[in-house]
Amino acid sequence: MADSSERVISSWKDVRKEIETLLKSEKSKEVKKTFKKFVKNAEKDIKNLVEKDIVGILNKVKKERRQLEKTIDKAMQTEIKKAKEFVATQKKELSKLQVKVEEFVTTARKESKKKQSKKINKKKAPVKSTKKATKKVVAKKGTKKAVTSKPKATASKAKKKAKRHV
């Protein structure tokens, strides 16, 4: 590249010298011809330099792009590995916590069932009546409808409440 640029500079100097000598001798036709040749040669040299530079620059850019892609891929793979390891450790910790929670829940259920059965047994012991309390249907005159009521189930409600609180 330096070779061709030096060649262009030296050719400019040569042409300048020729032009100066031709102007002194007043041969304008020859000056025009040599100047045209010089311009054509200079254009060719400049085009070659530019084309070589463009190709070289494009190759450098492509090479740098490939290197950047490789480094980015490596960085992404390491980050993905780190993320997967983090997720795996968190899953392990969560499974351990889940086991502990399930143990606490089962022990709490067993204790609540024992307490409920003791409460139910205590409630049933003092009540020794064999009568069932029922409400009668009362018929009223007018446009109102008859009202019916259902007997209360105290034992089943207590079980339902206990299940909700556990």
pLDDT at 86: 94
pLDDT at 121: 62
Is there a contact between 18 and 34 (Cβ–Cβ < 8 Å)?
yes
Vertex 53: Cα angle to 47 and 58 (nearest 5)? 125
With pLDDT > 70 as the criterion, what percentage of the chain qualifies? 64
| 3-state secondary structure at position 59 | helix
Residue 8: which of 61, 35, 45, 47 has the closest Cα? 45
How many domains are contained in the chain?
Answer: 1
pLDDT at 150: 53
9 within some domain: yes
133 within some domain: no
51 within some domain: yes
How far is 101 from 105, CA to CA, in rounded Å?
Answer: 6
With pLDDT > 90 as the criterion, what percentage of the chain qualifies? 17
Q: What is the mean pLDDT of residues 48-54?
A: 78
| 3-state secondary structure at position 102 | helix
79 within some domain: yes
pLDDT at 10: 81
36 within some domain: yes
Its domain, for residue 160, covers: 2-126+140-165
Q: What is the mean pLDDT of residues 8-29?
A: 73
Provide the phi-psi class of 112: left if phi over 0, else alpha when psi is between -120 and 50, else beta. alpha
55 within some domain: yes
pLDDT at 158: 64
- Summarize pLDDT for 57-94 with one digit per residue, the tens: 888 889 988 998 898 888 899 999 999 999 999 999 99
- Summarize pLDDT for 128-144 with one digit per residue, the tens: 555 555 555 555 555 55
155 within some domain: yes
Residue 40: which of 16, 4, 8 has the closest Cα? 8
